[in-house]
Chains A and B, each alone.
Chain A
Amino acid sequence: MTPGGTSGAPGVVVVTGVGRYLGAHVAARLAADPRIERVIGVDAPDSGTEFTDLLDRVERIRVDNGALGGLLADLDVDAVVHLALVTSPDPQHGGRSAMKDQNVIGSMQMLAACQRAPRLRKLVVRSSTAAYGVSFRDPAVFTEETEPREVPRGGFGRDILDLEGYVRGFRRRRPDVTATVLRFAPFIGSTADTTLTRYFSQPFVPTVFGRDPRLQFLHFDDALEVLHRSIVEDHPGTYNVAGPGVLSLSQAIRRAGRVAVPVLEPGLSGAAALARTMGFGRYGLDQVDLFVHGRVVDTSRLEQEYGFTPRSTAEAFEDFIRAHHGGVVVTRNQLAAAEQLVLDGIRQVRAAVRERSS
């Protein structure tokens, strides 16, 4: 189709957010793909240098979001992968206002730049299953067509709704560009460090009293696979990306050998709000809402279109447990031993009673 690119695989790819875990891994994987000529990692000027060894084959450019416009046009970009999203406010980097700057303003500027890039023919945007909002009237399983019934309370959920709105606008203005929106379930895996992995790594895990939400996770490697395929193949549209199957929160906590500490919901919301204003802790209303309502999506469209099924939620979680076995309060073997102990105790008591009465 375009010079410098074979059968759908683009020649020049720009990846945003390479200063973060996901962006760095995606860029490194694209750079290792021989079908792609050039991978350019774009990043904010103040981003860290954590992943430099991973990105040795990626050209890195540090620019402000505002300067992106000219850059994309100058570079003759074929495809853009927009991954620069912040999922939870980081008090060390400006908190919620910086998060909104990045998620909403940054994405707007990125899409405006894409609109002006003449050679662009592919756009892949990272979204989240938070796009479905939370409501008690929600169906149990979201398909891509489900409209959110209520605007979420959490900042990230609102950002995602805004972002998807901008992508819809972009699709209208540039119908020639293949736009793929990937709604990812929360990432989990052996190496990923996210709000949820930190949550499940604690020995005592706070939960919402009287609620046992259904959760889905996506293994980090499967997220990379889906993102990679979105770039080298053509998959226009919006897709839910999650591990099939469901774990309830209590079940996940038990499988991880942690102990759940139920907290009343108003207390938890208040604590989350307090933690945010005091500037510590990364749990926000997004997490509270997730732990009240849970979130399950239908992934059949992804499986049909990509011909790829991510590993199941239970398997992804199992992989995470294996990597984070420190801090376990109750292990499976301890439970089995306790079971045996009680069983034998009862047997002995019964035998003793029988002997005495004989």
Chain B
Amino acid sequence: MSGPDERRDPQSVGRFDVPEQVPAPDAEPARRNGHRPAAQAAPTRTAAPTPTATPAATPSADEGDAGLPGGTEPAVSDRPGDHWDRKVANGLAFLRRRLSGDYEVDEFGFDSELTDAVFHPLLRLLYRDWFRTEVSGVENVPVDGPALVVGNHSGTVALDALILSAALHDKHPAHRYLRLLGADLVFRMPVVSELARKTGGTVACNPDAERLLGGGDLVGVFPEGFKGIGKLYADRYKLQRFGRGGFVSAALRTGTPIVPVAIVGGEEIYPMLADIKPLARLLKLPYFPVTPTFPLLGPLGMVPLPSKWLIEFCPPIPTAHLTDSADDPLVVFNLADQVRETIQQTLHTLLERRPDPFGP
């Protein structure tokens, strides 16, 4: 991809007599070498030849310079359109759009631009470099149309939901967003509630779930709720009760397939040794965790331990033939049990694949 571009670079450099440019093409692949997905790198690369191939006068007609006579003189020697220039221009355009409100928010408050530009890059650092996450079975998540992704919850803080949504978005061929359903406690808290909405979350209730599924979205749900994330380290990877199975009836009513997903690694990030119940009651929280580092080390204890993560999507369970039994408790509980068993068994096989929780 970068071959022809680099070859052309020294030519144009020669024309402008700026020898400093020589190390630049070197530096770029090194940076790219890191982890930028090919799909994202491609458009920036292919766009490059156009300005460099044209005569020196035309680059100033590039969108960045249009209508700015004052800045043309240095801008020409700067070659508008080089890598950093585009990065800066894109960043500034993004800031301008944010500050003038030129973006779209859907009826649940989901802000895809902000999610793509800010939240997913941060989560990418976390799941790729810190947790070394391996994702398998992504082909079990449909490319289009609705699906209900049901996972095991763990980790004292519901980080696994965010990691799952970011990893799925990056690894899935259609780069689908996972719309998470969260407990109402999340939406009671200022700031947190808005972060949840902006990244595509909404309150876990049947009307919202059915509306999202009816609109063809991918919905993520963790039926264990606080029982899952608030369990002690000794109980790791033991699935808790699945509540009333409200998620199953939402799937049945809309005829949506259920995709169970097993997440290994979340339990070790904040190993919860004890739960100070009186303090939790005082703070109106479902539990107050004590981990080896929290609250002992204070804010430092909030850094998650670098466990090794494995995420596996299981084959979808079709529900289209059961649409009429959405209110039948027997069908709902059976299906919930089936999902639960699938996740539990997948967890065991994944754990066998990962003998050392903090391995490479």
* A associates with B: yes
Taking A137-B205, A347-B71, A347-B80 as contacts, is the C-beta distance between A212 and B101 under 8 angstroms?
no
Interface string of B1-30 (1 = CB under 8 A from A): 000000000000000011110000000000
Please give the distance in Å from A210's CB to the nearest CB on chain B.
3
Q: Would you list 25 pairs from A and B whose C-beta atoms are within 8 A, ordered by A residue?
A: A136-B184, A139-B202, A140-B202, A141-B208, A208-B190, A210-B192, A210-B194, A212-B198, A214-B197, A250-B101, A255-B100, A255-B101, A255-B102, A257-B100, A332-B100, A335-B96, A338-B96, A339-B95, A343-B92, A344-B70, A347-B85, A348-B78, A350-B85, A354-B78, A358-B20
Whether the Cβ atoms of B190 and A265 lie closer than 8 Å is yes
Residue B93 lies at the interface, judged by CB distance under 8 Å to chain A: yes
Contact between A254 and B194, CB atoms less than 8 A apart: no
B75 adjacent to A347 (CB under 8 Å): yes
Q: Are A210 and B92 in contact (CB under 8 A)?
A: no
A247 contacts B by Cβ under 8 Å: yes
Determine whether A308 belongs to the interface, using a CB cutoff of 8 Å to chain B: no
Q: How far is the CB of A122 from chain B (nearest CB, A)?
A: 31
Contact A358:B19 (CB < 8 A) given known A136-B188, A141-B108, A347-B78: yes
Given the complex, which residues of A lie within 8 Å of B304, measured CB to CB?
none
CB of A73 closer than 8 Å to a CB of B: no
- B99→A330 contact, CB < 8 A: yes
B20, B80, B102, B194: the one contacting A212 at CB < 8 Å is: B194
Residues in A with CB closer than 8 Å to B75 are 344, 347-348, 351
Contact B105 A248 (CB under 8 A): yes
Alpha-carbon separation in the docked complex, A65 to B98 (Å): 50
In the assembled complex, B107 has its CB within 8 A of some CB on chain A: yes
Whether the Cβ atoms of B191 and A210 lie closer than 8 Å is: yes
- Known contacts A252-B101, A254-B101, A344-B68; A146 and B194 CB within 8 A of each other: no
Is A340 an interface residue, CB under 8 A from the partner?
yes
**CB proximity of A305 to chain B, nearest CB, Å:** 20
Residues of B bordering A, CB below 8 Å = 17-20, 64, 68, 70-71, 74-75, 77-78, 80, 84-85, 88-89, 92-93, 95-96, 98-103, 105-109, 111, 184, 187-194, 197-198, 202-203, 205, 207-208, 211
**Assembled-state Cα–Cα distance A214/B194 (Å):** 10
In whole angstroms, what is the CA distance A261 to B89 when docked? 29
Contacts of A141 in B (CB 8 A): 107-108, 207-208, 211
Q: How far is the CA of A344 from the CA of B187 in the complex (A)?
A: 42
A140 contacts B20, C-beta separation under 8 Å: no
Bound together, the chains give a CA A247 to CA B95 distance in angstroms of 18
Q: Which residues of B contact A352 (CB under 8 A)?
A: 74
Given the interface pairs A139-B205, A211-B190, A344-B70, the reply to whether A254 lies near B105 with Cβ below 8 Å is no
With both beta carbons as reference points, the residue of chain A lying nearest to B75 in the complex is identified as A347
Interface size on A, residues (CB 8 A): 48
Which of A250, A253, A332, A342 makes the CB contact (< 8 A) with B92? Answer: A342
- Known A-B contacts A246-B107, A343-B89; the reply to A335 vs B205 at CB < 8 A is no
The answer to whether B99 touches A335, judged by C-beta atoms less than 8 angstroms apart, is yes
**Are A348's CB and B71's CB within 8 A?**
yes
Q: Is the CB of A248 within 8 A of B77?
A: no
Chain A CB within 10 Å, residue with most, of B108, B192, B207: B207
Chain B CB within 8 A of A1 CB: no
CB-CB under 8 A from A146, the residues of chain B are: 207
Which chain A residues border B102 with CB–CB below 8 Å?
Answer: 255
Given known A-B contacts A209-B190, A248-B109, A296-B107, A350 and B208 have beta carbons under 8 A apart: no
* B244 nearest CB across to chain A (Å): 15
CB distance from B133 to the nearest CB of A (A): 29
Given the interface contacts A136-B184, A246-B106, A265-B190, does A354 sit within 8 Å of B20 by beta carbon? yes
* Contact in complex: A339, B74 (CB < 8 Å): no
Residue ID in chain B nearest A214 by CB atoms: B109
Chain B neighbourhood of A336, CB < 8 A: 96
Do the beta carbons of A211 and B194 come within 8 Å of each other?
A: yes
Bitwise, A241-260 to B at CB < 8 A (1) or not (0) is: 00001111011111101000
CA distance in complex: A350, B83 (Å): 13
Contact A351 B74 (CB under 8 A): yes
Closest residue of A by beta carbon distance from B70 = A344
A139 to B106, CA, bound (A): 14
Q: Looking at the complex, which one of B20, B84, B105, B207 makes contact with A139 (CB distance below 8 Å)? A: B207
CB < 8 Å neighbour of A210 from B20, B70, B193 = B193
Q: Is the CB of B74 within 8 A of A348?
A: yes
A32 interface hit (Cβ, 8 Å)? no
Q: How far is the CB of A187 from chain B (nearest CB, A)?
A: 20
Task: State which of A246, A332, A340, A357 has its C-beta within 8 Å of the C-beta of B105.
Answer: A246
Q: Is A346 an interface residue (CB 8 A)?
A: yes
User: Is A195 in contact with chain B by the CB < 8 A criterion?
Assistant: no
A179 to chain B, nearest CB (A): 25
In-complex Cβ contact of B93 among A339, A346, A347, A350 (8 A): A339
User: In the assembled complex, how far is the CB of residue B9 from the closest CB belonging to chain A, in whole angstroms?
Assistant: 14
Shortest Cβ distance from B205 into A: residue: A139
For B89, the chain A residues whose CB sits under 8 A away are 343
A316 CB → nearest B CB, Å: 15
Given A210-B191, A342-B92, A140-B184 contact (CB < 8 Å): no
| Nearest B-chain residue to A265, judged by Cβ | B190
Is A140's CB under 8 angstroms from B107's CB? yes
Contacts of B101 in A (CB 8 A): 247, 250-255
Chain A nearest CB from B249 CB (Å) reads 15
> Which of B17, B89, B192 gathers the greatest number of chain A CB atoms within 10 Å?
B89
Instruction: Give the residue of B71, B100, B191, B198 whose beta carbon is less than 8 angstroms from that of A254.
Output: B100
Kindly name the residue among A143, A339, A348 whose own CB sees the greatest number of chain B CB atoms within 10 A: A339
Q: CB-CB < 8 A to B99: which residues of A?
A: 254, 330, 335
In the complex the two chains form, is A347's CB within 8 Å of B74's CB? yes
Residues of B within 8 A of A144 (CB): none
Q: How far is the CA of A115 from the CA of B31 in the complex (A)?
A: 77
A319 CB–B CB distance under 8 Å: no
Complex interface: chain B residues within 8 A of A339 (CB): 92-93, 95-96
Q: Which residues of B contact A252 (CB under 8 A)?
A: 101
Question: Are A140 and B208 touching (Cβ within 8 A)?
Answer: yes
